[in-house]
Amino acid sequence: MLQYLPFACLLFPAAHGQNDSVGSNTLPTIGLPSTSILNLGGDRVPTGTEFSYQSLTSTVTLSPGSLSGETALWATGLSTSTHASSTTPSSSSTSFTVLQGTLQSTTPANATATVNSTSTQPANTQPCNNYPEFCARQYSNITEVAAHNSPFVVPNNAASNQALKVIDQLNDGIRMLHGQTHMINGTLFCCHTSCDLLNAGTAESYFTDIAGWVRRHPYDVVTLLIGNADLVNVNDYAAPLQSSGLARYAYIPSEIPMGIDDWPTLSEMILTQKRVVIFMDYNANQTAVPYILDEFSHLWETPFSPTDRNFPCIQQRPPGLSIEDAQQRMYLVNHNLNTELTLAGITILAATVSLLNETNNVTGPGSLGETADDCTDQRHAAEGVVERWSRPPNFLLVDYYNVGAGSVFKVAAELNNVIYDRECCGMVPSTAIPLRCNSVLLASTVGVAIVSALV
């Protein structure tokens, strides 16, 4: 019989107060499946020759006529009623002309400065991604909070990485959704490491939820980062993305790859309603599926599944990227702390939930705010060389973003030179009894559970 164990006790046997909770007063538990588990809340850095990184030596310019397949689906542009040069739209439609408001330019610090003009420009009051200031900024000049493994919201399962479902995440201000997928009998599922460990349902269902939210929020640009854990063909993602309705909003870049200065403004993406940017970590092929972008041709990442509370802001993936090339791409900070455990000869990588209040904080050692500051001030730390990246991260990837009551959004707002004054975050009801454990009993029980699971 499989044992169900309190995960927070597994990491830290001492009892914790309510402030350390992950959205409720209960500690999560784990049911070990019938296969070996190496990763719970975290994941290993992909290794092996099958995990390849694209190396592009030139830029390919795309035009609508060069796209194969359903060109009508990928065609950009709305009806004339959404353009600034159009006539007054009917009362049943929404005008986006206000997004053409104050002339603005961007600075390396994500600040938006007003450009001098001889005539008075109308002020924009319509928020884009929650802030009017973002409308005139390039997609690549904004820092957004990313939900690590956003679909993995399974109560009492230690392989979960979020407490609130994807709709709550988007409502609260998350604008990048990360998720891992696996192919099971020809169907893509959102599973963490193994569908025996955590299965959050089909990828199409997940995409459908996102598409519904995007449809109801016409002034928001959302980014999706797909983890192709089984390295399946990129064409296998087209059907669920199209059936869900999400593909109709997918942004198709004008070039492959897009440099950091090539991205459109949020207003441009909103006006064309191509406002969902889809990245895939491995096996993307933009000539086959032009709206699924190769992640590492467009952005780089700091160390994956970090276990170091110092969160060094150094480039890890793609490997071998020069500083000069890194400067021409966006970048993502992995700020989801993990702990390595070895039990009964099995090494387990698990999310460090008991330190979330510190990890997600605005200030303090190991905080998201401190990491963001270090990244902005530090370009390269290898071999004792310290220089400036000169710009903030584009994405801040976190676990349980709700812990800290909006602290992760405050960090992003400071980097963007805007003020975060929204309420956060969605509530998680619970009727379970808080768990307590004895560390000696736990050690023996964990060993039995793991051995039982491997037999």
Catalytic residues: 148, 192
- The distance from CA 94 to its chain's CA centroid, rounded to whole angstroms, is 29
The dihedral through the CA atoms of 387, 374, 276, 140 has a sign that is negative
Beta strand 299-301 pairing with 330-334: parallel
Beta bridge partners of 131: 128
> How many angstroms separate the CA atoms of 183 and 233, rounded?
10
Residue 444 is inside which H or E element, if any?
helix 439-454
Beta strand 255-256 pairing with 60-61: antiparallel
Which 3 state secondary structure label does DSSP give 250?
strand
DSSP states of 123-166: PP-S-BTTBGGGTTSBGGG--EEEETTTT---TT-TT---SS-H
CA atoms within 13 A on the CB side of 370: 13
Q: How many residues does the chain have?
A: 455
